[in-house]
A and B are shown apart, each in its own frame.
Chain A
Amino acid sequence: MALKGLENLKKEYDCIVVGAGLGGLTCANRLATAGHSVLLLEQHFQFGGLAAWFKRKKHIFDVALHGFPVGMKKTCRKYWNKEMADCIVPLEGIKFDNPQFSISTTYEREDFTRLLDEKFGVDRATVEQFFDAARAMTFTDDDAMTTRQFLNQFFPGRTDVWRLLMEPITYANGSTLDDPAVSYCIVFSNFMSKGVYTFRGGTDLIIKMMEEQLERNGVDARVKALVEKITVEEGRVTGVIANGRHLRCRSVVSNGNLKTTILKMLPPEVISPEFRERTEKVRINNSSCQVYMGIKDGESIDPATGDLLFTSTAEEFDAEKMLDKHVTSRTFSLYYPTGRPGHNRYTIVSSTNARYQDWAGLPLDKYENDKHALAEDTLDHLEKYVPGVRDKIDHLEVATPTTFQRYTLHLAGSSFGTKFEGLQISRGIQDEVPGLFHTGSVAIIMSGWLGAANYGVIVANEVDRYIREQSQVAPSVG
């Protein structure tokens, strides 16, 4: 477990990483393996950011472990260790249930091609063209085309097909049909390569393994360390103010919310008015509500129920409706004892996309009432998939956008960072303020477990270049 507070630190670090989400963690580890001295500071009492877990009674609830693409295996092996990569296992029971269709799938290209042909009557050549076009997109591509336009090219007017292709991605990263097609295509293609994977052992184990690896690599890592300001002297980053203390470093990577980093943590005069204006205009992505259900000791759930259920009662896919407080769409993540060896409990987490403004600022009794209504409504819907669920559970708890805001300090409790325009700001801050870098959920593609970890690596490469340029370090090997 990482130490609390700020005792026994070095006088100066090559880099201070602010925030221990998957991006911050991976960036810190990568910089350490590149030979730099690194301090990682997290305001919360545990690492992981939104990759969070919590314990109630004998239950362990995973907040964000719903499934990621197979690429996470390679990312873990290359940037962490083989033991972690070996814990990544496929999730096989992916199901959809809505007024337009009910299907079960492995969520791979081959299976989707079969389904689109057999169940949706789309001709195979079109499906192949669609997959190839989606996979050919890279994030330097023109972002003018929307996902709606992209899908309509291949499946005109087929809202049932759009729903199959889009609904899980909306849950994965908050994107809508009006977001740039490139962001959809990259995330969708990542999943379609080999399906959906999870971490055997749960969120608590992956974070524990990351902490151990950071320690082996000599990273100083602290929890309960809130960074309030980033200091800049003579135009370059020189440190941070954390828990009221000035800590010195040659570079800072913020894994915090993009707008908070630039608009709140920096001295205002170091940013040009033009850059500030562009930052202010960046749209924050939506937040979430979750309902956590713990199954009583001795009770069980039939594994045939599935691992990930995309359910909806809405007639058609509608990303706006998915944000509505009148919930029509839910994703149920089911966790079986096989997923957490040595821990003989079942849990279910229901996730819905939500708007911060629908939950923030409510009078306490109204807030509690709304939470209660959401929990009851969720149980009513879950009954269809897990019969008798009300009698099976002994713990029921609700998280809202304000819960996410409280624990992560994300602006408006954002679950998926910023919309697409955040990418340019996140990438551009290093030119605006030398020595300051940002890694974190931006632009949909840098979001999710894989996107966040890989973005940490991409930024580590730039920090490494900056630090080496500053010190003109001699080569370590001849």
Chain B
Amino acid sequence: MTGEGIRQAILDIIKEIVPDEDLSSVDPEKPFRDQIDLDSMDFLDIVMELRKRYSVEVPEQDYPHLLSMSSTVDYLLPKMESL
């Protein structure tokens, strides 16, 4: 997967978790939490979906990497580029 593919995959997952949020204007450099209403349970859902869909494991100590779209993509790229 490319960085763009991962970005789209993350957007698809978030869209399912918070269907009422507008994701079209999410700034990749800013924290998700400043732009959309995502709580800690939502982040857990993202982690579980990544495992289910792509067999990617995000250990708890790495959760801070899921801060913004660009930090998430940077973090996941080495784990997902071979998919």
- A interface residue numbers (CB < 8 A to B): 34-35, 71, 74-75, 78, 138, 454, 457-458, 460-461, 464-465, 468, 473-478
Does the CB pair B53–A468 fall under 8 Å? no
Does the CB pair A468–B55 fall under 8 Å? yes
Residues of B contacting A468 in the complex (Cβ-Cβ under 8 angstroms): 51, 55
Q: Which of B39, B47, B54 contacts A475 (CB 8 A)?
A: B54
Q: Which of B44, B52, B57 counts the most chain A CB atoms within 10 A?
A: B52
Q: Which of A78, A458, A465 contacts B51 (CB 8 A)?
A: A465
B52 nearest CB neighbor, chain A only = A34
Residues of A contacting B47 in the complex (Cβ-Cβ under 8 angstroms): 461
Residues of A contacting B83 in the complex (Cβ-Cβ under 8 angstroms): 475, 478
Distance of A468 Cα from B48 Cα, bound (Å):
11
Within residues 31 to 47 of chain B, which ones have a CB less than 8 A from any CB in chain A?
39-41, 44-45, 47
Distance of A35 Cα from B51 Cα, bound (Å):
12
Indicate whether B26 reaches chain A with its CB closer than 8 angstroms.
Answer: no
- B interface residue numbers (CB < 8 A to A): 17, 39-41, 44-45, 47-48, 51-55, 57, 83
Given contacts A34-B48, A34-B52, 16 further A-B contacts (CB under 8 A): A35-B52, A71-B39, A74-B41, A75-B41, A78-B17, A454-B41, A457-B41, A458-B41, A465-B57, A475-B53, A475-B54, A475-B55, A477-B52, A477-B53, A477-B54, A478-B83
Q: Which 5 A-B pairs have the closest CB atoms?
A: A475-B55, A477-B53, A461-B48, A461-B44, A475-B54
Cβ of B16 to closest chain A Cβ, rounded Å = 9
Does the CB pair A464–B55 fall under 8 Å? no
Distance of A464 Cα from B17 Cα, bound (Å):
18
Does the CB pair A474–B44 fall under 8 Å? no
Does the CB pair A458–B17 fall under 8 Å? no
The answer to whether A476 and B17 touch (CB under 8 A), given A75-B41, A454-B41, is no
Chosen A-B contacts, 22 in total, with CB atoms closer than 8 Å, are: A34-B48, A34-B52, A74-B41, A75-B41, A78-B41, A138-B40, A454-B41, A457-B41, A457-B44, A460-B48, A461-B47, A464-B48, A464-B51, A464-B52, A465-B51, A465-B57, A474-B55, A475-B52, A475-B53, A475-B54, A477-B52, A477-B54
Residues of A contacting B55 in the complex (Cβ-Cβ under 8 angstroms): 468, 473-475
Residues of B contacting A138 in the complex (Cβ-Cβ under 8 angstroms): 40
Q: Which of B40, B45, B53, B57 contacts A78 (CB 8 A)?
A: B45
The secondary structure that dominates the B interface is helix
Distance of A370 Cα from B4 Cα, bound (Å):
69
B57 nearest CB neighbor, chain A only = A465
Cβ of B81 to closest chain A Cβ, rounded Å = 14
Residues of A contacting B41 in the complex (Cβ-Cβ under 8 angstroms): 74-75, 78, 454, 457-458
Cβ of B21 to closest chain A Cβ, rounded Å = 12
Distance of A34 Cα from B47 Cα, bound (Å):
12
Cβ of A334 to closest chain B Cβ, rounded Å = 31
Does the CB pair B45–A458 fall under 8 Å? no
Cβ of A233 to closest chain B Cβ, rounded Å = 26
Residues of B contacting A74 in the complex (Cβ-Cβ under 8 angstroms): 41
B45 nearest CB neighbor, chain A only = A78
Does the CB pair A458–B44 fall under 8 Å? yes
Residues of B contacting A460 in the complex (Cβ-Cβ under 8 angstroms): 48
Cβ of A344 to closest chain B Cβ, rounded Å = 35
Cβ of A86 to closest chain B Cβ, rounded Å = 14
Q: Which of B40, B41, B54 counts the most chain A CB atoms within 10 A?
A: B41
Does the CB pair A476–B48 fall under 8 Å? no
Residues of B contacting A477 in the complex (Cβ-Cβ under 8 angstroms): 52-54
B49 nearest CB neighbor, chain A only = A34
Cβ of B55 to closest chain A Cβ, rounded Å = 5
Cβ of B37 to closest chain A Cβ, rounded Å = 9
B16 nearest CB neighbor, chain A only = A78
Residues of A contacting B54 in the complex (Cβ-Cβ under 8 angstroms): 475, 477
Distance of A82 Cα from B34 Cα, bound (Å):
26
Q: Which of A71, A138, A461, A474 counts the most chain B CB atoms within 10 A?
A: A461
Residues of B contacting A475 in the complex (Cβ-Cβ under 8 angstroms): 52-55, 83
Distance of A189 Cα from B57 Cα, bound (Å):
31
Residues of A contacting B48 in the complex (Cβ-Cβ under 8 angstroms): 34, 460-461, 464
Distance of A214 Cα from B26 Cα, bound (Å):
35
Distance of A461 Cα from B47 Cα, bound (Å):
8
Distance of A477 Cα from B39 Cα, bound (Å):
26
Cβ of A462 to closest chain B Cβ, rounded Å = 9
Distance of A460 Cα from B49 Cα, bound (Å):
12
Distance of A468 Cα from B47 Cα, bound (Å):
14
Cβ of A79 to closest chain B Cβ, rounded Å = 9
Distance of A35 Cα from B55 Cα, bound (Å):
13
Distance of A71 Cα from B41 Cα, bound (Å):
10
Distance of A476 Cα from B41 Cα, bound (Å):
23
Cβ of A118 to closest chain B Cβ, rounded Å = 31
Distance of A81 Cα from B36 Cα, bound (Å):
22
Distance of A150 Cα from B53 Cα, bound (Å):
44
